[in-house]
Structures are given as structure tokens and as C-alpha cells.
Structure 1
Amino acid sequence: MAGSPDPDGGDEALGETMIRFQSYLHGGTSSLLSAFPTVVVFPVYKTVFRQQIHNTPVRQAVGQLCREGPLKLYRGVAPPLLMRTLNGTLLFGLQDTLLRWLALSSHSVLPAAALPALAGFGAGFVEALVFTPFERVQNVLQNGQNDRRLPSLRSVLVSLKAQRMSHGYYRAFLPVAARNTLGSSLYFGLKGPVCVAVTGQGLSPMASSFVSGTLTSMAVSLALYPLSVLVANMQAQVGGEGNGAAACWRALWRSRHGSVALLYRGGSLIVLRSCVTWGITTAIYDRQEKRSC
């Protein structure tokens, strides 16, 4: 009958929809399960943040946190916990959706090997749009200089809401977008080939996914670390002149005396964070995806 839906076509469309839904679910689940390690390594992350802001050696940064006491050690942990779960849901799910769309629409125009990276680029941009406000709040809360003027999450939210979007919640959006798009593109573009190479060394699929996620995220984090330092310095304060990214970068470079070594202070600790978080997330996500196939 003309216009009647094709049962096979309907089943196929439903299957495609379920696959896309599963990728969002698997991304959120893997990130949620890695949330506990995020709590465990949060003091490490906060130590790195203090090094980024104050340009201090690790011993001095740890001393600052010790003097502030255990009650303030986890100030600012709520945004990354919430962001971690939502981030995985959006990043993995959207990348999978974009990848399928690109595979259908590009045909032979683009090489298949480039599609995961291109889909990751698009997912990273959406990620920046959604999560820049979370990162902004987190960085304000982690800066000990804001403790007196902005003692609670509510006070931070009210203060940021009172400002323009570019100075408030979306402060440093351009550096965040550059970091997230490049990072997601590199992560999704590299983790597959790295996993294949590692599997060839005789590791189990779970171990291969963990190692590939760790190595890939470690390389990406270290390569884009200067952008993370710039974002942290731009977002840590509320109010002030609100200079653009270029002016803030020049000021940051001067404050580091033109030294790449000083700019990368705290960068070595990114290795630990990458091993704990993205290694676990990648392993869990890949395992769930293989089970659903």
C-alpha cells in the first residue's frame, strides 16, 4: 500500500535509535562509575589548580591546602562530580551520533579514519557550550582568595549571574572551546588506533582499552595543558577588568617569565589524573559498547 511504513525499515530505524541511546547511556554510566576516583584524586586536581593560579612549586601548593584545613579541601568538588557524569553522557553519545551521521552523509568524500576525530571535534564544541559555566563555578570555588567574599556556592552563582555572560558564566569560553574541540578530536581520533596497537601486544580487550584511554588522554592533556592554565587564570576571579584571551595570555606568559617549564607547573600531575579517570572511563565504555553489539 502506498505510503505504508516498511516494517523492516521501521525496525532498522528503531535499532539505530536504540544504538544512539545506548551510546549516551554507556557514556554516562562509565563516567558515573569513574566519579569515585574523581573524588579520591580531587586533592591532586586542586593542587594542580593552585600551581596554575599562583605559580608555586608542588610543596608550597600542598602547604596552602594543609593550612586551609580538611573542611576546605573539598570546596568546589560538587561541580566536577556533576560535570563528570553529564560530560560523559554528552561527549560519548554525541560523538557517536555525529559519527554515524558523518558516515552516512560523507560517503567516500572523507577518509573513514578521519571521521571519529571530526565527530569528536563537533562533540567537543557542544561540550564547551554546555559545561563552561560548570568549570567557571568550579574555578571560582577552588580559588582560596574568594573564600571570604564568596563563601558559598549560592554566593558564587548570584555574583556570576549579575555580570554579563562573557564576564560571568561564559568567561574564557574561546580558550575552553579551543581546548575541548582539539582535545576531543585527538582523543577519539587516537584511542582506536592506540587500542589496536596495544591489543597486538597480547593484552586483554579491557586492559587494552584502559591503556589506550590512559595514553591518549595523557598525551592530549599535556599537549593542551597551557590552555587549561589560561582558562584557570581567566576564570578564578570574579569581577575586575575582564580582559580577552589574548591579553590574558600575554599577562600569563609574563608572569611565568617566558618559561615553558614554569607554564607547565603541575602538568606532571595530569598524568595521574588521566590514568585514574579517562583510563577507567574508556575501559568501561568500550566494554559496554562491545556487550551491546
Structure 2
Amino acid sequence: PVEKKTNTMVCLPSFLHGGTSSLVSTLTTFPIYKIVFRQQLHSTVVSQAIGQLRKEGFLKLYRGVVPPLLMKTLNGTLLFGIHDTFLHCLSITNPCGVIPLSALPAVAGLGTGMVEALVFTPFERVQNVLQNGGNDRSLPTLRSVLARLRAERLGSGYYRAFIPILARNSLGSCIYFGLKDPVSAALREKGLPPMASSFLSGMVISSMAINLPLYPLSVLVVNMQAGVMGEAAGVRGSWKALWEGQLKRSVPLLYRGGFLVILRSCISWGITTALYDRHSAH
């Protein structure tokens, strides 16, 4: 019992530090999130979205921050806490070195991404339905969206697009936790301070290794989850319809709007990584 209590206590700070780091990064990057949202909602360019927010004034800039703040804080809490828990368990159950020590963070990240997908797919589904202007008349409120999704089977309701979300989150977490410490250590060897090396590590990994190659999965998820009418076409059918229809087999169209999403993610994960590593070091 004493050992079990000790093992539990070892992982508790990771939940706390992950949550607080994500909270701060979400508050910092919310204005970028709001610009992206206005672009998605009104199909405007960046300058027009910024003009809308400027006209509304600073006091309304953070209107609507509570839902994404709660979701991102919960996400960071679970992401870092579960990863540290998995990593701790793997280090105990891997005495013979079946998995190389250097690969343990990436393997733990793979499992963390799976748990993350199970927990957050319904949240993402509700958010994408609400952000689709085509649903405004039939589903005007959050309550009506929840009632509609409850009436559907899990595969076409709350867990529509679960497979691409599972692939995106698992691969993303595996890459992030597998590269975070090695990249940060390499930057520190170049003479950068710990906070700066952690910040740049989070930014580089988030942009080049995760968001850029995995962005098509996010586009697929949005298009699969935004609608509520009828059965989902499946991953292959949805991708074929998206690629050949809306995107017209164009890679530039696929990445349209991706610049701000990737920029926001870079800043957010840079801040989150720097704050988390700083807290963990103490």
C-alpha cells in the first residue's frame, strides 16, 4: 500500500503542471483562436477578422473564452498526467529492456493519445457541429445539439470521425513526447537557457513534426463531424469526397487556413512545454 501510494503521488504533479501550463497558453493564444474562428464562420480573410474584433473592442476580445479554456486545461491535465503515469508504469514493467529506454516516452505518448481520443472526440464533435453555420436553424442551441447526438448511434453521433482522431492524436502525442526532451537537450547544448530551449522545442515539434504533416487529418475530421444528417460515409469515402470534390485534388486548398492554426499551435505548445518543463524541474 505504501509503494502504491508513492507511485500515485509521483504522477500527481504532472496532472497539475500540465493543467496550469495549458491554461496559461490558452489565455495567451485565445485572440488567435478567435481570429481563426471568425475566418471559419464568415469565410473572411485575416485582415477582415482582425478588423471585426478591433471594432468590437478589447472588452469583448475574451468573450467566449470559458469553454475552450476549460477544454484545453482538462486536455493538458490529462495529456501530461496520463503520459507520466504510463511512463512510470512502463519503466517498472520493462526491466529486461524489451523497449529501449529512449523509446519509452514515445510509447507512453502513443497510449496517451489513444486515451485522449476516447475522452475528447465527443467534445470535438459538439464543437464542430456548433461552428457549422448550416446547423444554425435546425440546431440553434447547445442543448439541441446534445439531444440530437444522443439520439444517434455512437459511431454517427458523438464518436463520428473517431478513427482519424485516434490516428492524429496517437501519432501527435507519440511524436511530441518522443522528441520533446531530445530536441530541448540539443538546444541547451547550443547554449540556450532551459526555458528558451523548451519553448523552441515545443514550437519546432508542434509545427514541423506534428501539425504540418497531420493537418490533413484535422481537415478530414472537421468535414466529417460538422454535419448531422444521415450516416457517416466512412473514413475512405469521406476523404475521397473531400479530396475530389471540395479540394479538387489541390494541396494548397487542403492547407487553406492552416497557417494561423499552425501558428497558434506553435505558440501554444511552446508556452505549454516551457512552463511544464520549468515546473517539473522544481
Decide which of 88, 98, 104 is 2:92's aligned counterpart. Answer: 104
The answer on 1:200 being equivalent to 2:186 is no
Decide which of 67, 72, 83 is 1:95's aligned counterpart. Answer: 83
The within-5 A match list for 1:87-166 is 87-107=75-95, 108-166=97-155
Equivalences, count: 276
TM-aligned CA distance change 1:47 to 1:185, over 3 Å: farther
Shift of 1:98: 0.6
Q: Distance in 1 between matches of 2:65 and 2:271?
A: 19
Q: Distance in 1 between matches of 2:23 and 2:6?
A: 25
Q: Quick one: which amino acid aligns to residue 78 of structure 2?
A: L
30-39 or 273-282, larger mean C-alpha shift: 30-39
The answer on 1:216 being equivalent to 2:216 is no
The answer on 1:261 being equivalent to 2:252 is yes
Matched residues, percent identical? 57
Q: Quick one: which amino acid aligns to residue 231 of structure 1?
A: V
Q: Distance in 2 between matches of 1:275 and 1:103?
A: 30
TM-aligned CA distance change 1:44 to 1:117, over 3 Å: farther
Q: Distance in 1 between matches of 2:126 and 2:140?
A: 12
Contact kept? 1:30, 1:88, Cα under 8 Å: yes
Q: Distance in 2 between matches of 1:131 and 1:62?
A: 31
Q: Which runs of 5+ in 1 are unaligned?
A: none
* Cα-to-partner distance string for 1:116-143 (whole Å, 9 max, x where unaligned): 0100000000000000000011111111
Shift of 1:206: 1.0
TM-aligned CA distance change 1:206 to 1:60, over 3 Å: closer
* Cα-to-partner distance string for 1:126-178 (whole Å, 9 max, x where unaligned): 00000000001111111122222222211211111111111111110111001
Shift of 1:61: 10
The answer on 1:85 being equivalent to 2:76 is no
What's the counterpart of residue 12 of structure 2? 21
Decide which of 188, 210, 230 is 2:220's aligned counterpart. Answer: 230
TM-aligned CA distance change 1:145 to 1:101, over 3 Å: same
What's the counterpart of residue 281 of structure 2? 290
Shift of 1:207: 1.2
TM-aligned CA distance change 1:218 to 1:230, over 3 Å: same
Contact kept? 2:32, 2:260, Cα under 8 Å: no
Contact kept? 2:106, 2:174, Cα under 8 Å: yes
88-97 or 33-42, larger mean C-alpha shift: 33-42
Contact kept? 1:187, 1:217, Cα under 8 Å: yes
Q: Which runs of 5+ in 2 are unaligned?
A: none
Q: Distance in 2 between matches of 1:171 and 1:73?
A: 32
The answer on 1:59 being equivalent to 2:48 is no
Which segments of structure 1 move beyond 3 Å, counting only runs of 4 or more? 12-15, 47-51, 60-63, 72-79
Q: Distance in 2 between matches of 1:74 and 1:40?
A: 7
The TM-score, its normalising length taken from structure 1, stands at: 0.85
* Cα-to-partner distance string for 1:74-127 (whole Å, 9 max, x where unaligned): 897654322201111111011111111111112211111111010000000000
Shift of 1:215: 0.9
